[in-house]
Structure 1
Amino acid sequence: MGQFSWTRFLAILRKEFQQIIRDRPSVGLAIGMPVMMLMLFGYAVNTDVDHLPTVVWDQSMSQDSRDMISALRNSTYLDPDYFVRGYDEVGRFLDSAKARVAVIIPPDYGKQVQGNGNATIQVLVDGSDPTSARAAMSAVQTVGFNAGWALQSQRLTEQGGAPPSLPVQVETRVWYNPDMKSTVFNIPGLIGLILQNVIAMLTSFSMVREKERGTMEQLVVTPVRPAELMLGKLLPFVFIGFVSLTMVLLIGMYWFQVPPKGSVPLLFLLSTLFLITILAIGLLISTVARTQLQAMQMTVLLILPSILLSGFVFPRETMPALLQGLGGLLPLTYFLVIVRGIFLKGVGLDFLWQQTMILSVFAIGLFVLAAKKFRKNLD
């Protein structure tokens, strides 16, 4: 071996730094990804569940019931912002996921409290998310006990008596997932996440691979038109997406014992809409990335926020408003509401039309943008 040369070493070092600086997408990802990961994990990974949207049916309409609602709001665990006048309306709020908790106060609540008896309220909890359900049940039990205890203590102390042991009892019922199994919550969400990750990665890699091998230039000089080339490249991934959807659906149904309560044809129809959106995202990535490594890095930039901000793991209600807004830019956020609504609640388009419309806007807008950018790159 020859003697170590600092001149040759510095020349190689300078050359590598020059190549790294010229590769601006990789430099941007290397600098931006750690910051993004720290911010996302720091704010989105929050196991403390609070400010859950809550619907209230106050049949008592008394000062005591209003005190109970104020106590629920002051706890910061629940946000009783919706008020209804019947079980049908309560069911619609829970089915549509506008509310995660329902508090039902009976007509004689005020008389029970005034009479120093044990008052009872009913609480319905959306059990499709076990984490939120457990937190809501614990919060209502605690707030109900504390509020009732304080009220009774004050009144009975004035009368010279002792307060009862349980001034306010809470009867809790869990809807959609009575056993609060995490598997029931996770399996439908995994369907959307798997479809997104597999299709986006395969689509972007396929296009970039053509660039790296030089076959894209060969296709350009042929009589094949851009629309024909794009559709010919993308349609096989639609087929792969349906195969993946069918596989995970069958495994979820028969292996994990999580059958869909709603319409399977509707699930496939809305999954097609989601697939078109993800294909467009994969096509956009392929028009920007120059290498498969860059395509993988950009796909990771999509996957990581989707896991943290879409509601796949952590309730979106616990996130800061900014992160909730960023999560609203992810197609997976709306597809998770759709797939969990069909799987766990058995709802149809009458409850899922809003998410379907938003997903349609994503699909059309992203596909048109991807098609124009793809055609421009070919030209």
Structure 2
Amino acid sequence: MFEYRVNSNPLLATWRRVAAIVVKEIRQLARDRMTFGMIVMIPLVQLLLFGYAINTDVRHIPAGLVDLSQSSYSRELIAITEASQTVDFVRVYASAQEAEQAIIRGDVKAVLYLPADLGQRLSVHPAFNRDSGHSNSQTLQPVGQWLVDGGDTVIAASIRSLRQLPLDTLAGRALKDNVPTFEVVQFFNPEQRSVVNIVPGLLAIILTMTMIMFTSAAIVREREQGNMEFLIATPVKPMELMIGKIVPYVLVGLIQVGIILGIGHLLFSVPVRGGLLTLLVAALLFIFASLTLGLVISTIAKTQLQAMQMTVFILMPSILLSGFMFPYEAMPQPAQIISEALPATHFMRMVRGIVLRDALLWNLQRDALWLAAFTLGGLAFAALRFKKRLD
């Protein structure tokens, strides 16, 4: 009679059934080593990585230098500017025109231009010559110029903070705001609109998400749906299968490129300064690289859930380490090395260079060659891992 009462208790019976399912799921999760590893590795790795890598305080911006003065004043101003650690002068140019071309190519983010008459401009500056006879109301020439890639508003803001710092240090006191110091000339985005930088970067992130997601479950889905037998029975070779899996999605990627840049231009007035053919080639290189990365994931994952988890594991670094949200120059060296392994980082530089600076493909050849090599290597790796047999 006692046993009958226990078994007839609906709450206890429900608890036992739920407990049995919980035990079963825990055991299954423990046997699925990849999923269990993702549970631990995704929060651990990304917390450590982003905790060290995310930094809005930009330092060591690669900058160029045009020093036409070659005087003790110019050498002291250069030393003071570098001591701030905001910029590192990595290139020296002979003229402002040569420096502008370097900014277009993306070799440097800013250039400090010191004119030949720097000493004369300082001699009439009220901070350095009290007997110059000039008042603050009189028009004085800027001491020099900063030529800046205004596409990245964070970097441009950091450069603007250097307008007065070197002269403050050289004069030994803080100068008044109405005293001319260094003029800042912002190329490509004089209005300092953040959307000009965000829309091209958003193109790289959206393509990363969709392209990898489309193909990351391609091989896994064939296995789970029982279609692998049909593939085994066909004369299709592994490399042919890999290429056939990614080609249909290329058109999807190009449609997304047109939608994002078209709406960005119509609604947000984001200019597209580069040639459409150059942009098409860059987009195709990145689309193929992202689809190939998805195929590599598909050959490693055993279930579609694992493929989705690995996609997220790639997507988060692509958003935070590619230069989309935080300047690449602000990251520590280890984070920059990791970001260089991501296709999104290379396309981010390419699409911003083409859309904002009218850069040619030749100017971006290093990133273009990297994406092409990544695609070929990824296809070969995916084909080697794929086995035309049932596991």
TM over 0.5: yes
Counterpart for residue 347 of structure 1: 359
Equivalent-residue separation in structure 2 for 1:229 and 1:356 (angstroms): 25
Structure 1 residues 3 and 125 mapped into 2: Cα distance closer, same or farther (>3 Å)?
closer
Q: Is the 8 A contact 1:310 1:327 kept in 2?
A: yes
1:22 Cα shift? 0.8
1:167 Cα shift? 6.9
Say whether residues 1:330 and 2:353 are aligned partners: no
The SS at the match of 1:262 is coil
Q: What fraction of aligned residue pairs are identical, expressed as a percent?
A: 38
The farther-off stretch of 179-188 and 243-252 is 243-252
Structure 1 residues 281 and 130 mapped into 2: Cα distance closer, same or farther (>3 Å)?
same
Say whether residues 1:89 and 2:111 are aligned partners: no
1:301-316 → structure 2 map (5 Å cutoff): 301-316=313-328
1:145 paired residue among 158, 167, 175: 167
Counterpart for residue 159 of structure 1: none
**Cα-to-partner distance string for 1:306-338 (whole Å, 9 max, x where unaligned):** 111111111111111000000011111111111
Equivalent-residue separation in structure 2 for 1:196 and 1:377 (angstroms): 30
Q: Is the 8 A contact 1:277 1:363 kept in 2?
A: yes
Equivalent-residue separation in structure 2 for 1:84 and 1:227 (angstroms): 48
1:239-258 → structure 2 map (5 Å cutoff): 239-258=251-270
The farther-off stretch of 220-229 and 261-270 is 220-229
Q: Is the 8 A contact 1:40 1:308 kept in 2?
A: no
1:21 paired residue among 5, 12, 30: 30
Q: Is the 8 A contact 2:163 2:183 kept in 1?
A: no
1:208 Cα shift? 2.1
The SS at the match of 1:180 is coil
2:146 paired residue among 123, 126, 129: 123
1:31-110 → structure 2 map (5 Å cutoff): 31-110=40-119
The farther-off stretch of 248-257 and 291-300 is 248-257
Structure 1 residues 229 and 59 mapped into 2: Cα distance closer, same or farther (>3 Å)?
closer
The SS at the match of 2:181 is strand
The SS at the match of 2:317 is helix
Say whether residues 1:220 and 2:229 are aligned partners: no
The amino acid of 1:136's aligned partner reads: I
Q: Is the 8 A contact 2:111 2:147 kept in 1?
A: yes
Equivalent-residue separation in structure 2 for 1:290 and 1:242 (angstroms): 30
The farther-off stretch of 21-30 and 348-357 is 348-357
**Cα-to-partner distance string for 1:239-272 (whole Å, 9 max, x where unaligned):** 2112222222222222322131011111111211
Q: Is the 8 A contact 2:104 2:359 kept in 1?
A: yes
Counterpart for residue 157 of structure 1: none
1:195 Cα shift? 1.3
The amino acid of 1:104's aligned partner reads: Y
1:3 Cα shift? 6.9
Equivalent-residue separation in structure 1 for 2:343 and 2:35 (angstroms): 25
Equivalent-residue separation in structure 1 for 2:194 and 2:97 (angstroms): 27
The SS at the match of 1:171 is strand
- Structure 2 gap ranges (5+): 1-8, 133-139
The SS at the match of 1:172 is strand
1:182 Cα shift? 0.8
Structure 1 residues 75 and 13 mapped into 2: Cα distance closer, same or farther (>3 Å)?
same
The farther-off stretch of 355-364 and 163-172 is 163-172
Say whether residues 1:295 and 2:307 are aligned partners: yes
The amino acid of 1:24's aligned partner reads: R
**Cα-to-partner distance string for 1:169-205 (whole Å, 9 max, x where unaligned):** 1111101111111111011111111111101101113
Equivalent-residue separation in structure 2 for 1:378 and 1:326 (angstroms): 35
Q: Is the 8 A contact 1:57 1:105 kept in 2?
A: yes
The SS at the match of 1:103 is strand
**Cα-to-partner distance string for 1:202-256 (whole Å, 9 max, x where unaligned):** 1113332222211223332344443443333322112211222222222222232
1:13 Cα shift? 5.1
TM-score, normalising length from structure 1? Answer: 0.89
The number of residues matched between the two structures is 368
The SS at the match of 1:60 is coil
Equivalent-residue separation in structure 2 for 1:331 and 1:165 (angstroms): 44
Equivalent-residue separation in structure 2 for 1:234 and 1:80 (angstroms): 43
1:37 Cα shift? 2.1
The farther-off stretch of 293-302 and 361-370 is 361-370
